[in-house]
Chain A
Amino acid sequence: MLNRLLSHDLPRNRWLALLLVAIVLGLALTPFLFPGTKALNVAAKIIVFIVLVASFDLLLGYTGIVSFAHTMFFGIGAYGVAIACTRIGATWGSVALGIAAALAISLGLSLLIGLFSLRVKAIFFAMITLAVASAFLGLASQLSDFTGGEDGLTFKVPEALQPGTSYLDAPLLGASIDGRFVSYYLLFAVALLLVLALLRIVNSPFGRVLQAIRENDFRAEAIGYRTIVYRTLASVLSALFATLAGCLLALWLRYNGPDTTLSFEIMLDVLLIVVIGGMGTVYGAVVGSALFVLAQSYLQDLMKLGAGVVDGVPVLAQLISPDRWLLWLGILFVLSVYHFPSGVVGRLRAMRKPGP
């Protein structure tokens, strides 16, 4: 049964399976195991990133398309919910409307981009998506009447999800059962479904054709697969999943701005996670996101401590300052591209069992 649930894409390695179980259980039980707002926020971020990164991997790892416009769809999803709740009101109806509108826009845009990608060479395409993503970021900041500009939009969510809404007066097993609690499990449940859906997609005949196209699109076309259809579909699917991730994030944060979803930093984070986790494996997104967000959230505290120690030493203080987190990220990124080309998941799966 587990086999069917995971679409026959098993971890295939004891350590990987353990890691995955730990992550899933950890996320499932966070309100109980790790009380406190920070922990909950970190866990929610991990969940959203898992979906976002997995959707990006569908494009990059499975189909072999490099696109820097991915965060655009993430942003569209988040803004969809944000704008709907701000303009129309904090009801489930408006949330649904926001999500639907965001999905529709993403569908249209991704179709356009997907079809355009086939007219130009891959390298051109990568550069063009970079330009488009910048432009979109600029647009979001410019249309301040609509999007709240640089400041973004803060909004209320439906009552059931509001932090103020309390379901039980006393905490149950250490967790306070309120709107946040419900929001969290909403995120968890939806994300779980989306990840399982992705597993189903990549392990289906469709997914196999995508991989064939990634390896050698010429040959795939020669065998008879209309690569244009498959690639466009992959672009669209990947965009839709990213949009949903954005919607989830907006519901959780009750805020969205250009830097929350559209920034280049997020695109780079996604790239980094895909590379570290392992391209072409959905589990890579799971493991990578968890490791990355945990490191990002807690390592910075470590860095702050470190900075305190070397305070005063000119260059060293600057290098360890938590503001320079991105520097170490960059170095780790470069190192992983060289030494972990198949990511953590690939490394684990490649480990052979000792035997005769």
Chain B
Amino acid sequence: MSGAAIPKANFDFLPLALVALLALGAMPLIGSSSTWITLTVAGLAMGMIIFIIASGLTLVFGLMDVLNFGHGVFIALGAYLATSVFALMSDWTGSVDLWRNLVAVFATMAVAMALAAAVGWAFERVLVRPVYGQHLKQILITMGGMIIGEELIKVVWGATPIAIEMPEALRGVITFGDSAVEKYRVFATLVGGVVLAVMLFTLNRTKLGLLIRAGVQDREMVESLGYRIRRLFVGVFVAGSALAGLGGALWGVYQHGVLPQIGAHVNVLIFIVIIIGGLGSTTGCLVGALLVGLMANYTGFLAPKVAMFSNIGLMVAVLLWRPQGLYPVANR
């Protein structure tokens, strides 16, 4: 072997820098640093929740080439379950004790994840499995699944919006000097951070994660190495659905309420995020989610009317720079 320099395992920091760029760029536009801090934390919190929801979807696509246009149904389910659990545990959420509130919230998260996982398993079995490899049919069927899911949600919970009361101890703000940061948003960011940490650990330090990462690159080769990747896929699909349910619950509380279209609404945001990030890339998903969260909050403050377009503009800008997304997955 020639004396070539040992290649460095360099990580592409450029897209991450974009997040910082966006945040810093918005500062002069916003003016006051206290408002900036509030908005930035809000944006990061929103971004984290979106990341939780979108991460499952991007892995599912990366791993098995399956386009789930019905991911919104798990989000909606999670959000609606939150309303029910909160209603059931209203004395816990109404209590001023933080630990009681937290128990209620964690109970909600657990229920949302469990049920969303179950529905996810059924979704994969009944709707998705018969149409592996056929993109058009997948799009149609998963959309159909979402419609059915949304209608069933209306059957159970009714078609009118339901408000969610923030648990007592999580209401209000923490103040740092001039700036006020909502307690719930800090909480959501923490939860997001935990999910991210667990995900990164699983992906990078376990053999399971190794299988997933390899499968995203070259499914056939993983099978040729003797692994039944179909089983792995069902697992990832179910995990992705559970995460979407968790995210949906967090989102519902974040928005102080739910409507039946909540799934469809968030779905569009999710798609934008995974397109920006690169289909199949978890890091890309994170960066995309943070960008979208920040963008939504900054424009919501600066120019509310163009809020939706700002995200599309962001997507178009990213695609013009890197047509496969920020972190395209190799071998695709």
Q: Do A and B come from one complex?
A: yes
Residues of chain A whose beta carbon lies under 8 Å from any beta carbon of chain B: 66, 116, 119-124, 126-128, 130-132, 134-135, 138-139, 142, 264, 268, 271, 275, 315, 318-319, 323-324, 326-327, 329-331, 333-334, 337-338, 341
A116, A123, A126, A324: the one contacting B155 at CB < 8 Å is A324
Interface residue B67 (Cβ < 8 Å from any Cβ of A): yes
Identify A338's interface contact among B130, B308, B312, CB under 8 A. Answer: B130
Q: Which 4 A-B pairs have the closest CB atoms?
A: A327-B151, A330-B147, A330-B148, A334-B144
Q: A99–B193 Cα gap in the complex (Å)?
A: 53
Q: Which residue of chain A has its CB nearest to the CB of B274?
A: A127
Q: Does B289 contact A (CB under 8 A)?
A: no
Besides A116-B316, A131-B271, 7 more A-B contacts (Cβ < 8 Å) are: A66-B139, A127-B271, A130-B271, A131-B312, A131-B315, A139-B309, A271-B140
Q: How far is the CB of B116 from chain A (nearest CB, A)?
A: 19
- Is A268 touching B268 in the complex (CB atoms < 8 A)? no
Bound Cα distance from A82 to B305, whole angstroms: 23
A318 & B141 in contact (Cβ 8 Å cutoff): no
Interface flag for B52 (CB, 8 Å): no
CB pair B143–A268 under 8 Å, yes or no, is yes
User: With A119-B319, A119-B323, A128-B315 in contact, do A134 and B268 touch (Cβ < 8 Å)?
Assistant: yes
Using an 8 Å CB-CB cutoff, how does the interface string of B8-22 with A read, 1 for contact, 0 for none?
A: 000000000000000
- Give A296 to B13 CA distance when docked, in angstroms: 53
Say whether, besides A134-B268, A138-B308, A124 and B127 are in contact (CB < 8 Å): no
Shortest B266–chain A CB gap in Å is 11
Q: Is the CB of B141 within 8 A of A337?
A: yes
State A149–B271 Cα separation when bound (angstroms).
Answer: 26
Q: How far is the CA of A134 from the CA of B308 in the complex (A)?
A: 9
- Taking a contact as CB atoms under 8 Å apart, the answer to whether B155 and A319 are in contact is yes
A337 close to B144 (CB less than 8 A): yes
Choose one: A116, A119, A128, A333; the contact of B275 (CB below 8 Å).
Answer: A128
Across the interface, which residues of B come within 8 angstroms of A135, CB to CB?
308-309, 312
In the complex, chain A residues whose CB is within 8 Å of the CB of B127: 334
B147 & A126 in contact (Cβ 8 Å cutoff): no
**Dominant secondary structure of chain A at its interface with chain B:** helix
When the two chains form their complex, are residues A124 and B275 in contact, meaning their CB atoms are under 8 A apart?
A: yes
CB distance from B62 to the nearest CB of A (A): 12
Chain B residues contacting A318 (CB-CB under 8 Å) are: 155
Closest residue to A119 on the B side, CB-wise?
B323
Closest to B313 in A: A135
State A134–B311 Cα separation when bound (angstroms).
12
Contact with A along B141-170 (1 / 0, CB 8 A): 101110110111011000100000000000
What are 21 inter-chain pairs, A to B, with CB distance below 8 A? A66-B139, A123-B279, A124-B279, A127-B272, A134-B268, A134-B308, A139-B309, A142-B305, A268-B147, A271-B140, A323-B154, A324-B154, A327-B151, A327-B155, A330-B147, A333-B140, A333-B143, A334-B127, A334-B145, A334-B148, A341-B137
- Tell me which of A116, A127, A128, A324 has the highest count of chain B C-beta atoms within 10 A of its own C-beta: A127
Number of residues of chain B lying within 8 A (CB) of chain A: 41
Give A331 to B279 CA distance when docked, in angstroms.
Answer: 29
A123 to B61 Cα, complex, angstroms:
10
A131 adjacent to B151 (CB under 8 Å): no
Closest residue of chain A to B304 (Cβ to Cβ) is: A142
A23 CA to B283 CA, complexed, in Å: 55
Chain A residues, CB < 8 A from B143: 268, 271, 333
Cβ contact within 8 Å between B140 and A337: yes
What CA separation (Å) do A260 and B229 show in the bound complex? 45
On chain B, the residues within 8 Å of A122 by CB distance are 135
Q: Compute how far the CA of A138 lies from the CA of B150 in the bound complex, rounded to whole angstroms.
A: 21
B136 proximal to A (CB < 8 A): yes
Interface centre among A128, A315, A337, A338 (most CB of B within 10 A): A337
Q: Is B264 an interface residue (CB 8 A)?
A: yes
Interface hub of B131, B135, B143, B275 (most chain A Cβ within 10 A)? B143
- How far, in Å, is A321 (CB) from chain B's closest CB? 8
Chain A residues in 8 Å Cβ range of B150:
326
Residues of A within 8 Å of B312, CB to CB, are 131-132, 135
User: In the assembly, what is the distance between CA of A324 and CA of B150, in Å?
Assistant: 10
Alpha-carbon gap, A324 to B315, bound state (A):
35
Nearest A residue (CB) for B126: A334
Chain B, residues 309-332, CB within 8 Å of chain A (1/0): the string is 101100110010001100000000
Query: Which residue of chain B lies nearest to A317 when distances are taken between CB atoms in the complex?
Result: B155
Kindly state the separation between the CA atoms of A138 and B312 in the bound complex, as whole angstroms: 13
B308 touches A120 (CB 8 A): no
- CB-based contact A327/B148 at 8 Å: yes
From the candidates A128, A138, A142, A333, name the one contacting B147 in the complex (CB within 8 A).
A333
Write the chain A residue with the least CB distance to B332.
A121
| Residue of B69, B155, B265, B272 contacting most chain A CB atoms (<10 Å) | B155
Residue among A119, A135, A329 facing the most chain B CB atoms (10 A cut-off) = A135
Interface string of B243-270 (1 = CB under 8 A from A): 0000000000000000000001101100
